[in-house]
Amino acid sequence: MKKVLLLLANGFETYEASVFIDVIGWNLIDGDGSTRLFTCGIQKEVNTTFSQKVVVDYLIEEVDVNLFDALAIPGGFEEYNYYEDAYSEQFVSIIRKFNAQDKTIASVCVAALPIGKSGILKNRNATTYKVGKVRQQTLKNYGANVINEPIVTDRNVISSWNPSTAIDVAFLLLELLTSKNNTQHIREIMGFERKNT
């Protein structure tokens, strides 16, 4: 079983998290059955953007990185204090641990920023939210080579520039964990691509 850890900061964007939950879950039930997703955070109860509440499976300090195959991180809103958790030492430390084992780290939108803060993107290609250029400049300040593309992969790290890319990041993660054919099957049964007739 391939296990994905969904790392949630207070103020995370619900849609950006939900794509990982759905794609990995659909694969468990209707795909090759080889993936399962678990959630974690600094607190047991994590607030989303727009003030919904989620109870996570694990606190960060309970996570054994050796038991997981990939890390997924949704972005979030500054107005909901996303960066307080996302920039904390606990949060960036677990990112470093996944990177040290060369495990896939998939991020959406501003989730590239805590990855940058962790130090693992120095001299590596990445992208993040592009509107206003503030977030891209922050990522550059962390030493990343910012590429103005919707999705950028450099070795084990996937980054993307806004919520519209989230579903494709989730499918890319599934492809890396399973296969292209299996991922295509999940895309089709979820309705994201029509079957060729």
Q: What is the pLDDT of residues 95-121, one digit of tens each?
A: 999 999 999 999 999 999 999 999 999
Query: Higher pLDDT residue, 106 or 133?
Result: 106
Number of folded domains that form the chain: 1
pLDDT of residue 156: 98
* 195 within some domain: no
Q: How confident is the model at residue 196 (pLDDT cuts 50, 70, 90)?
A: low
Question: For the chain, how far is it from start to end, CA to CA, in angstroms?
Answer: 33
* 197 within some domain: no
* 66 within some domain: yes
Instruction: For residue 169, give the CATH number of its domain.
Output: 3.40.50.880
pLDDT of residue 193: 78
Largest Cα separation within the chain, whole Å, is: 51
* 196 within some domain: no
d(CA 108, CA 128): 8
Taking only the tens place, the pLDDT of each residue in 41-82 is 999 999 999 999 999 999 999 999 999 999 999 999 999 999
Mean pLDDT value across the chain? 96
* 146 within some domain: yes
Q: How confident is the model at residue 197 (pLDDT cuts 50, 70, 90)?
A: very low
pLDDT of residue 132: 87
CB 1 within 8 A of CB 36: yes
pLDDT of residue 190: 97
pLDDT of residue 105: 98
Residue 28's domain spans which residues?
A: 2-190
List the structure tokens of 77.
């809103």
Q: How confident is the model at residue 85 (pLDDT cuts 50, 70, 90)?
A: very high
* 100 within some domain: yes
